[in-house]
Amino acid sequence: MFDYVGFFASEIEDLQRRGGYRTFVEVERLAGSFPAALRHGPGPGRRISVWCSNDYLGMGQHPLVLAAMKRAVDESGAGSGGSRNISGNHRHHVELEHELAELHGMESALVFPSGYAANDAALTVLAGRLPGCVVFSDELNHASMIAGIRHSGAEKQIFRHNDPDHLEELLAGTDPKLPKIIALESVYSMESDVAPLHRIAELAREYGAFTYLDEVHAVGMYGPQGAGKAAELGLEGRFDVVQGTLAKAFGAAGGYVAGPAAVVDAIRSFASAFIFTTSLPPTVAAGAVTAVRHLRRSDAERRTLSEKSRLLHGLLRDYGIPVVSDAAHIVPVLVGDSVRCREVAGELLERHGCYVQPINAPSVPVGTERLRVTPTPQHGDDEIVAFAAALHGIWERTGLPRRPVAEPVA
């Protein structure tokens, strides 16, 4: 008889040998004290500082968001009670979709339980129902986009990351009569770089391509009212569908797409991942719509985050600590080895009380392992200085490679 359990045990052993095995740190967020948290494990919880949260602006701890969620749970209970089609279509979902459509200047929006589900569902429908569709996908697109394209069954052509010349070469070599979708992200979180959105919008117009823009790491963070990178660059309306998340800058959970009413309605009507799943709890939707409304009115959080990110980028540059890119708010510190990446993260946590999750393959290519650091508006300048100094000390002690130092550190 086949040893099923033994097979999977050997798979895990092999993953551990290759340095790709993932371990979780048990963290308890402390309401009102972000980025402070308790790390649980043997013995009493230890207070730590979180440096890798996707709650980029700290909205998951914002008093207005918490108050809205408390009201919603008192009014409506814990869960939604069903799918959107069967008893789970709550007024908070409808309000949230209206708010998101307005944020992006689109006719309609649709909310999903996660950003992954939104990408998978939307691309499955869009690419799968267009006859003979060819999808042009950036090579570093998120796994959820890759899954949606694969599930669609459409032909896929991969263009080199942020390389519009290669994209144009592929577009020019495709039958002009076929439907085409260009799928890309605006901000790539593992690289902290930004797509050449102007050029890609021009190529889409020139070659008659439909555009699908993932703004997960940009909504709430950039542009007027937090509408994203495309809006910041004056390209609002140049991308046909915008996909975003409620789990990062907005501090809640869930994902969404926004676009023309007929396109969004097609996703709503044909996407199995939307039809056959329980909708977001009303309390989560209520918190999300409160966060979206707040960030449409307030630039304070975005301004402060930009200042904190520039401070950390500058300190690491002065120390010669390699960072993949400084084009966005994320600070991807390059280590380049899976074992050493885990060791650096471990020393930061155990010795300095700073929690950063090591990012290893397959999230990033082998040899580019990194720490994906996310300073927030709630990190004090003194904390940022201390964090950079801690990294400098680890680099000094372990002999990790540096980049040339721009100028002496004071």
The catalytic residues are: 248
The residues, ordered by sequence, that sit 6+ positions from 392 with a Cβ below 8 Å of its Cβ are 319, 321, 409
- C-alpha 54/C-alpha 373 separation (Å) is 10
Residue 39, strand partner residues: 27, 46
Q: Tokens for 286?
A: 């209520």
Parallel, antiparallel or unpaired: strands 46-50 and 354-355:
parallel
3-state secondary structure of 170: helix
Residue 344: helix, strand or coil by DSSP?
helix
Give the end-to-end CA distance of the chain in Å, rounded to a whole number: 67
Torsion of CA 124, 125, 129, 135, to 10 degrees: -50
C-alpha to C-alpha distance for 60 and 191, rounded to whole angstroms? 24
What's the rounded Cα separation, in Å, for the pair 359 and 362? 9
Contacts of 347 (CB under 8 A, 6+ apart): 394
Q: Are 142 and 214 in contact (CB under 8 A)?
A: yes
For tokens 């004056």, the residue is 234
For 82, which DSSP code? S
Alpha helices in 20-114 (DSSP H): 63-76, 91-103
Q: How many Å apart are CA 277 and CA 82, to the nearest integer?
A: 8
Q: What is the DSSP letter of 247?
A: S
Angle (CA) 153-157-163 rounded to 5° is: 145
